[in-house]
Amino acid sequence: MEKNYLSQQHVGDKNYDSEFCGSIPLHQINLIQPHGLLLVLDKALRIRQVSENTDSMLGLPPDALHDQPLAAFLPDHEMRDLQQKLGQEQEQVNIPFALSFKTGQETKHFTATILPEAEQILIEMEPDQGTDEQSFLSFFQQIKYITSRIKQSDCIAAIAQTAADEFRNFTGFDRVLIYRFDPLWNGTVIGQAKTEDMSDLLGLRFPASDVPKQARDLYFKNAYRLIPAREYEPVRLQPILNPITKRFTDLTSCNLRSVAGVHLEYMGNMGISASMSLPLIIDGKLWGLISCHHKTPKYPSYQERTAMELLASITSVQLGAFEKHYNSENRAKMGGLHTRLLEQLFKEEYFANALLQGEPSMLDLLSLSGAAVLYEGQVLTAGKTPPLSKIKELASWLRRNSGDKTFVTNSLPHIYPNSKEYKDEASGLLALAINSEQVEYILGFREEVLHTVNWSGNPDQAIRMEPDGKSYHPRNSFALYQQTVQLTALPWQDEELDAAEALRSAVLGKIIREKH
């Protein structure tokens, strides 16, 4: 069913999703973090660009690698294996690989990620930390145990807390947080595990500017974001311009990509030196994050990160399953009410009586505190509603501003200031047009619900701009900041809006049949 809603349902909430932060080109900075090195190859597998830390990582200066075939540095069997895997890829995929890099008389071992792209191939390399068979077995058993624990959790809150506990036990990070994004991209901490000396952030909300759009988008390209040491010297790529593309190398898919200075400052203000975050993606949408913090530098091994990536996917699946189960139960409950209401609608001579006085009524179906039907010059009401004169004024305003479109908001006073005087009855409004030209509507009201939001720091001070208007700093306080939200009602759920549209169609059908 087509949705044609005039307004957004969260107009009562301030939007902290900074366009300024979201416009920073995080992927075109030409810098990487120094715990690994980067090679850029052309399609013939010749090295065309390298990070400047090859001296420390390989014992070879960058010039010794430029324009050299990769085959000159790898054993034949590894080169054949790599070519075979590259030949099988139909689209850009991160290919894990073990590289034995020959540097004269010495061979250095790396864990690598191969990133095939349309014009080039990127290879991220990190020194191999090694693992023996016994530790691998123990590692695998841990993963199975954690997976079992997450799958046994019986609600979203329990999944979030179990994931936080097990991630911290598995990784040793000082604090692990599970964030859930709201429709305006503010993140609330719904699960936490931490050491005693780390600040308690459970239940606090973080403004959307903490994870701006540009950073959120990159989580669909990267399975995780690791910053093992906040205080580092970024490594440039050489030559500066990519010889293949003639521009800065796009580091969108690189885990080694360097970090914006403002984020490093943000970490310092939080009192952490290392962080790792993993996306929770449900039905193709970024649902939340798993965020790991450490007071001192910390470098999880490639194997640990791979396991965390797997566990984040399992957590996402479980969260998604419970959300679907909850939504399915709601839809089933509403479906039963809707069916009974439709039966009443066609038995009753006057549709308004069925909607407002039946068992169930539209108040039950749509969780309303009050409702009104304006039809053929009459106004019928049920539950808590504004005075009749105010309902008529509101209907006239709807005729001018929404016409035949369904109008929905959970903060009517912010859109229609005249409604402030009856905020107790109608802070939320759902208006279904019968005939807008005749000012005929079905109105559903929701009463004001005062609620306190616990922010981690004042969200209005999340960004501090410099006088030049170009540079900015993140906030330096994460202390509890309480905000009382007024003039708002409970938000409307998609299932409720769908049910309302179906109800409107049934009413219009009844009216048309009776007139013809």
Q: For every residue of 291-311, which 3-state class applies, written as one string? A: EEEECCCCCCCHHHHHHHHHH
Q: Examine the pLDDT at 15 and tell me if it is beyond 80.
A: no
Q: Examine the pLDDT at 10 and tell me if it is beyond 70.
A: no
The tens digit of pLDDT for each residue in 356-365 reads 998 999 999 9
What integer pLDDT is reported at residue 2 of this predicted model? 41
What integer pLDDT is reported at residue 131 of this predicted model? 62
Residue found by looking up tokens 């203000």 in the block: 269
What integer pLDDT is reported at residue 512 of this predicted model? 86
What integer pLDDT is reported at residue 394 of this predicted model? 96
Q: Examine the pLDDT at 374 and tell me if it is beyond 70.
A: yes
DSSP secondary structure letter of residue 153 = -
Dist CA 503 CA 493 (whole Å): 15
More confident residue, 449 or 12: 449
Inter-residue long-range contacts of 73-82, CB under 8 Å, 24+ positions, other chains counted: 73/101, 73/102, 73/103, 74/99, 74/100, 74/101, 74/102, 75/100, 75/102, 82/114
What integer pLDDT is reported at residue 140 of this predicted model? 84
Dist CA 376 CA 506 (whole Å): 18
What integer pLDDT is reported at residue 134 of this predicted model? 54
Q: Examine the pLDDT at 432 and tell me if it is beyond 70.
A: yes
Dist CA 207 CA 187 (whole Å): 7
Distance of CA 350 to CAs 113, 346, 379, 514, Å? 69, 9, 13, 10
The tens digit of pLDDT for each residue in 73-114 reads 999 999 999 999 888 755 557 888 999 999 888 899 999 999
Across the range 399-411, mean pLDDT stands at: 90
Q: Examine the pLDDT at 472 and tell me if it is beyond 60.
A: no
Place 133 in a pLDDT band, splitting at 50, 70 and 90.
low
- Cβ-Cβ contacts under 8 Å for 89 (sequence gap 6 or more): 95, 116
List the domains of the chain with CATH numbers.
19-28+130-325 (3.30.450.40), 31-127 (3.30.450.20), 348-450+486-515 (3.30.450.270), 452-484 (no CATH)
Distance of CA 60 to CAs 21, 112, 133, 374, 437, Å? 38, 18, 32, 81, 79
More confident residue, 192 or 328: 192
- Which region among 37-41, 86-90, 157-161 has the lowest average model confidence (pLDDT)? 86-90
Place 28 in a pLDDT band, splitting at 50, 70 and 90.
low
Strand 285-294 to strand 274-282: parallel, antiparallel, or no bridges (unpaired)? Answer: antiparallel
Q: Examine the pLDDT at 22 and tell me if it is beyond 50.
A: no
SS3 344: helix
Q: What's the whole-model pTM score?
A: 0.80
What integer pLDDT is reported at residue 457 of this predicted model? 67
Across the range 426-440, mean pLDDT stands at: 94
Place 514 in a pLDDT band, splitting at 50, 70 and 90.
confident
Average pLDDT of the chain, as a whole number: 87
Place 54 in a pLDDT band, splitting at 50, 70 and 90.
very high
- Which region among 86-100, 365-379, 381-395 has the lowest average model confidence (pLDDT)? 86-100
Q: Within 10 A of 225 (CB to CB), how many other CB atoms are there?
A: 19
Across the range 172-201, mean pLDDT stands at: 94
What integer pLDDT is reported at residue 13 of this predicted model? 57
Dist CA 510 CA 507 (whole Å): 5
Across the range 8-17, mean pLDDT stands at: 52
What integer pLDDT is reported at residue 246 of this predicted model? 93
DSSP secondary structure letter of residue 46 = B
Dist CA 46 CA 478 (whole Å): 48
Place 23 in a pLDDT band, splitting at 50, 70 and 90.
very low
What integer pLDDT is reported at residue 147 of this predicted model? 92
What integer pLDDT is reported at residue 3 of this predicted model? 46
Place 149 in a pLDDT band, splitting at 50, 70 and 90.
very high
Q: Examine the pLDDT at 500 and tell me if it is beyond 80.
A: yes
Tell me, rounded to whole angstroms, the distance of Cα 319 from its chain centroid.
Answer: 13
Across the range 217-233, mean pLDDT stands at: 93
Across the range 270-280, mean pLDDT stands at: 96
What integer pLDDT is reported at residue 91 of this predicted model? 57
3-state secondary structure 482-516: EEEECCCCCCCCHHHHHHHHHHHHHHHHHHHHHHC
Percent of the chain with pLDDT over 70: 86
Q: Is the sign of the CA dihedral 329, 311, 26, 212 positive or negative?
A: positive
- Which region among 21-35, 347-361, 459-473 has the lowest average model confidence (pLDDT)? 459-473
Q: Examine the pLDDT at 504 and tell me if it is beyond 80.
A: yes
What integer pLDDT is reported at residue 285 of this predicted model? 95
